[in-house]
Amino acid sequence: MHVGVILFYGVLFPQRLASLLENGPKRHRLKVVHSCNAYTSPIASLGQGNHAKGVLSISRKRGKERTEPMEPFPCPSDVNVADSVTLKLSPTNYFAWKNLMLAFFKSRSLSGFVDGTLHPPSKPSPLAESLVLEEKRREEEEERRELMRRDEWDQKHTQQRDWENEPEQERLGEFVREQERVREWEQERPEGEWEREQEQERQENWKREWGEEWKSREEQERQQEWDRERERRRQWDGSGSVGRSGSRSVGRRSVCTRGGRDRTV
């Protein structure tokens, strides 16, 4: 077992290492104790660590350094552990040795390295990445629409400014030319044609608006006259009645004949 693995495993997982020292096989316990004691000797030094694997690389020879970069929690090289950790590791003093090692990490500003190994930066989930991409696309779409609105606004107001900045003489000349065209058109028409057209249009409008009404009014008066005539005839025919003597009055004149027959005079 690599000494760096043992050291970092012991710092991060003390219960497992303590259980290994107490209940593990004898060859494993001896290897752990001898490796840690050899690591804390004056000739040991720390090298660059590998954050992704959680392994603290240790140089076995004095003066040998690792040049591999460790991001984002770099570990300095040429650090003598024996100056701070003077206790030899054994199955009975593991926790005291662990506290010394933690104090050594803190004194050498390696707490960030330990915390980064305990809580490595989590990679963004696919859902979070999709949300970020969707938000980015939405922002790009809004920016594109805003640019289109600005271009449309600029084009519209540019045309208005061009019209406002048009010279006064040009606008006045256009107005004069339009008036001249109207005057020429009126002069080309025969004299009195305009009045005749107006009178003809007025008559057509009067016929269209009042002709039908006049016809309906005449028809209504004629119908009323017929109704009155029929009513007079009905009254004239129903005014005569047959008397006791066999006579009947017709209208205002009544004639009595022998045998009870009526004769109209």
Per-residue confidence band for 236, with pLDDT thresholds at 50, 70 and 90: confident
Question: What is the value of pTM for the model shown?
Answer: 0.22
User: 127-136, 198-207, 240-249 — which is least confidently predicted?
Assistant: 240-249
Alpha helices in 40-188 (DSSP H): 94-107, 111-118, 126-164, 168-188
CB 82 within 8 A of CB 44: yes
Residue corresponding to tokens 């040991």 = 44
Residue corresponding to tokens 């019209």 = 163
So where are the chain's domains?
A: 3-118, 125-165
Res 225: pLDDT: 92
CB 65 within 8 A of CB 77: yes
**pLDDT (tens digit per residue) in 149-162:** 888 888 887 777 66
Cα separations (Å) of 178 from 13, 162, 186?
98, 21, 13
Strand-pairing partners, residue 242, are 248
Radius of gyration of the chain (CA): 62
- Name, of 179-183, 221-225, 243-247, the range with top average pLDDT: 221-225
Average pLDDT, rounded, for the chain: 65
**pLDDT (tens digit per residue) in 160-190:** 766 666 666 666 777 788 888 878 777 776 6
**pLDDT (tens digit per residue) in 90-132:** 667 777 777 777 777 777 666 555 554 445 556 666 776 777 8
User: 52-56, 137-141, 163-167 — which is least confidently predicted?
Assistant: 52-56
Cα separations (Å) of 114 from 41, 46, 48, 98?
22, 14, 13, 13
What residue type is 229 in one-letter code? E
Cα(109)–Cα(104) distance, rounded to whole angstroms?
9
